[in-house]
Every structure is written in structure tokens, then in C-alpha cells.
Amino acid sequence: MTRPNGSTRRWRTLRASVLRSNPMCAICYLRPADCVDHIVPLNLGGARYELSNLRPSCTPCNAARGDGTRTRSTTVNEPLRTSEDWLNPLRTSRRW
């Protein structure tokens, strides 16, 4: 069965093998990885099941990176989102 979020058995197996061979986050190298990130995002044509397109990441890095359109930065000077953004899902989209 294929689920819309891509959590197939194939994906879980692949994800487990990535995490087994690379237990640390490949983005910050500080925390143990508990997610697998697509280097080239799926929405940009990245291969979902290609090992060369996968890297381990920790939850904070994975969440900060979002769909890969944001660049990585540890000290962000960007102002926090205001409540207006939260009330306006169309503007916020899913980049967070």
C-alpha cells in the first residue's frame, strides 16, 4: 500500500539503512540523526529512493531546512514570525 506521505515499507527500510550507516546528522554533525533528508527535494525532482540523494539529519536540522529552499544558517537574524503569519496560512505556505 502506498500512503500519501510517502511512508512506504520501502522508504522505512531505506531510511533505517541510512541511519544505521550514518548515525550522526550530516547537516550539523552535532546530534544523532533521527530523520533522513532528501538532498535534492522531491519537489525539485530528487529521487525518493536513491541512496545518493539521502542523508541523515536530526529533527531540528530537518525542520529548519524544510523543503530545501531555505539556506542553512545557525544564527538567523530573521525576525520571528508574527501572529499575522500564523493567521494567514496562504502566505506562510509550507516552507517552514
Residues near Zn ion (CB under 5 A) are 25, 27-28, 31, 58, 61
CB of 31 within 8 A of CB of 50?
A: no
Nearest CB to Zn ion, comparing residues 8 and 64: 64
Q: In angstroms, what is the minimal distance from the CB of 35 to Zn ion? A: 9
Nearest CB to Zn ion, comparing residues 16 and 63: 63
Nearest CB to Zn ion, comparing residues 19 and 61: 61
Q: Are strands 54-57 and 35-38 parallel, antiparallel or unpaired?
A: antiparallel
Which among 37, 43, 40, 73 is positioned nearest to 57, based on CA atoms? 37
